[in-house]
A and B are shown apart, each in its own frame.
Chain A
Amino acid sequence: MTDLREAFLELIRRTSCDLPEDVEAALQRAAAAEQGRARSTLEWMLRNAAEARRNSTPICQDTGSLLFFIRHGPERRPADIAAATRAAVAEATRRYWLRPNAVDPLSGRNSGDNLGRGSPYLHFEQVEQPGLLEVALMLKGGGSENCGAQYALPDASLQAGRDLSGIKRCLVDAVVKAQGFGCAPGTLGVGIGGDRMTSFEESKLQLLRRLDDSNPDDELAALEREMYEKLNGLEIGPMGFGGRTTLLGVKIGTRHRLPACFFVSVTYMCWAYRRRRLVVRDDDYSID
């Protein structure tokens, strides 16, 4: 049997230290299209990603909030998976693949091992596939998390109604406000509809997609392409120094909404776009 703690530990190491190839390729394309400070900034980022991979050190010192999305077959016990995850998180912190990032909001005390109320975040989904264990991990940095936003339409200050134009206005507002603060070039995860919680959840789940995929919904695919082009025209550039590359991607999903509510939720992912997927089989595992 595969040692779950060991598999999760490797998932954390890879996610924190090894930038996914689709993100690296997007940064390389961006660097080739830029010049001056924008280009040299992207080249520094690529050099840093290569060094982090080579030395197994975190790409960014803010190793973020730990978001685990777990799909498992009926014979797997969530309690066992949770115990292995927590043990791996504490061990990864001891090995400096994670910064101690769990702070009590009232006392200000840092738990020291990333374990705390709500940390790590574990989302379980049981599926009818015997033996399946698939874990997606996202490390979501705090600086970019502060650039997230949730809009309730209609929004008079943005002249944003409950329609496609209103949704677009929200995205323009979010990216202008984010400037370089979220460590541009970022990627937008967007959730339209739902309630306040599920709308944000959708925006996070969108960021598990590959940058080079295409939305299966034609209308959303067109919206993603349009907003990617338009928002890069804001010329905020890498780190907000100015330039053509403000975003690497825009990923949008929808949830059925309540008649009274129309939320547009934006999660801003930094250039150090850390997410990987672990698949555990009987005697081995793989990470992509």
Chain B
Amino acid sequence: MKKINLPAGEEEIRALKVGDEVLISGVMITARDAAHKYMVEQEAGEVSQVLRGGMIYHCGPVVARDGDSWRFVAAGPTTSKREEPYQAEVIERYGVRGVIGKGGMGPRTLEACRRHGAVYLHAIGGLAVILARAVRRVVEVHKLEEFGVPEAMWVIEVEDFPAVVTMDSHGQSLHTEVLARSQQRAREILATL
């Protein structure tokens, strides 16, 4: 397994290929629907530093309050394609090197990955306990009141967070391969009905 430390440089991200299993360490940020709309429609200055060379995790966690600090209890990925209208612009504008989620993304994000040197990484959906444990510390949280717990932007420090590259910076996507094969199989099944 390859190790990636954040912030990441363009060269090491471009070296990743579809199918690579990686362990990510460093500081990243969670963002889903409300946060992506916000990052595109406004200038999200408070998170620009963590985004530069960093990674966005599509995740709406369960977070516990322990005294003055926060603790991630359950934190698997959420469906990424909902962010397709925003992701390419977020990658370009904020200099993001990786997007982690589930289900893969569309052609605009794939093109943004190719052009700006970024990758899409797939975490296993529903792996809430194991992925929460990879979160060592909650550094800070933005928009908690306005967006609520699942939609807030949680800045987290992770260690050896497991994920698989399913869209790389060379235009390859595992998702389009699996889709094409399943459509071919579907035609074969329909022919028997």
Q: What residues of chain A have their CB less than 8 Å away from a CB belonging to chain B? A: 37, 41, 44-45, 47-48, 51-52, 55, 57-63, 96, 98-101, 103, 108-110, 112, 141, 143, 146, 165, 168-169, 172-173, 176, 179-181, 183, 230, 233-237, 239-242, 270-272
Residues of B contacting A110 in the complex (Cβ-Cβ under 8 angstroms)? 147-151
Residues 96 to 114 of chain B near chain A (Cβ within 8 Å): 102-104
Kindly provide the distance from the CB of A61 to the nearest chain B CB, expressed in whole angstroms: 4
Alpha-carbon distance between A270 and B19 when the two chains are bound, in angstroms: 23
Q: Do the beta carbons of B148 and A242 come within 8 Å of each other?
A: no
Report which of B19, B61, B147, B179 forms a contact with A61, defined as CB distance below 8 A: B61
Cross-chain pairs A/B with CB under 8 angstroms, 28 sampled: A37-B164, A48-B126, A48-B128, A51-B130, A57-B74, A57-B128, A58-B128, A59-B74, A59-B126, A59-B128, A61-B59, A62-B78, A103-B148, A108-B34, A110-B149, A141-B126, A173-B186, A176-B182, A180-B102, A180-B104, A180-B178, A181-B102, A183-B125, A239-B122, A239-B124, A241-B174, A270-B125, A272-B126
CA–CA, A179 to B125, complex, Å?
13
Contacts of B147 in A (CB 8 A): 108, 110
Q: Is B31 an interface residue (CB 8 A)?
A: no
Which residues of chain B are within 8 angstroms of A109 by Cβ–Cβ distance?
148
Collect the chain B residues with CB atoms within 8 Å of residue A168's CB.
193
Inter-chain contacts of B81 with A (CB < 8 A): 181
Residue of B nearest to A40 (CB): B21
B62 at the interface (CB under 8 A from A): yes
A48 with B125: in contact, given A60-B74, A112-B148, A146-B79 (CB under 8 Å)? no
Given contacts A41-B124, A48-B130, A143-B125, contact A236 B174 (CB under 8 A): no
Known A-B contacts A181-B81, A236-B182, A272-B126; A172 and B150 likewise in contact (beta carbons under 8 Å): no
Q: Are A51 and B129 in contact (CB under 8 A)?
A: yes
* Count of residues in B whose CB is under 8 Å from the partner chain: 49
Q: How many contacts between A and B, using CB within 8 angstroms?
A: 157
Decide if B3 is an interface residue (CB 8 Å cutoff): no
User: For residue A108, which residues in chain B have a CB less than 8 angstroms away from its CB?
Assistant: 34, 147
Q: In the assembled complex, which residues on chain A have CB atoms less than 8 Å from the CB atom of B61? A: 61, 99
Does B42 interact with chain A (Cβ within 8 Å)?
Answer: no
- Whether A61 pairs with B185 at a CB distance below 8 angstroms is no
In the complex the two chains form, is A60's CB within 8 Å of B182's CB? no
Q: Is B153 an interface residue (CB 8 A)?
A: no
Would you call B117 an interface residue if the criterion is a C-beta within 8 Å of the partner chain's C-beta atoms? no
- Residue in B126, B185, B192 whose beta carbon sits within 8 Å of that of A270 in the complex: B126
For B16, the chain A residues whose CB sits under 8 A away are: none
- B69: chain A residues within 8 A (beta carbon): none
B125 touches A99 (CB 8 A): no
* B76: min CB distance to chain A, Å: 5
Q: Is the CB of A176 within 8 A of B127?
A: no
**Closest residue on chain B to residue A54 by CB atoms:** B129
Please give me the 4 A-B residue pairs with the lowest Cβ-Cβ distance, nearest first: A110-B148, A61-B74, A183-B125, A272-B126
Question: Which of A99, A146, A233, A242 interacts with B149 by CB under 8 Å?
Answer: A99
CB of B141 closer than 8 Å to a CB of A: no
Contact B190 A239 (CB under 8 A): no
Q: Which of A44, A58, A240 contacts B73 (CB 8 A)?
A: A58
Give B108-150 interface residues, CB cut-off 8 Å to A.
122, 124-130, 132, 147-150
Measured in the bound complex, the distance between the Cα atoms of B59 and A109 in whole Å is 18
What's the Cα separation between A181 and B104 when bound, in Å?
8
Given contacts A41-B124, A45-B126, contact A58 B175 (CB under 8 A): no
CA distance A173 to B189 in the complex (A): 11
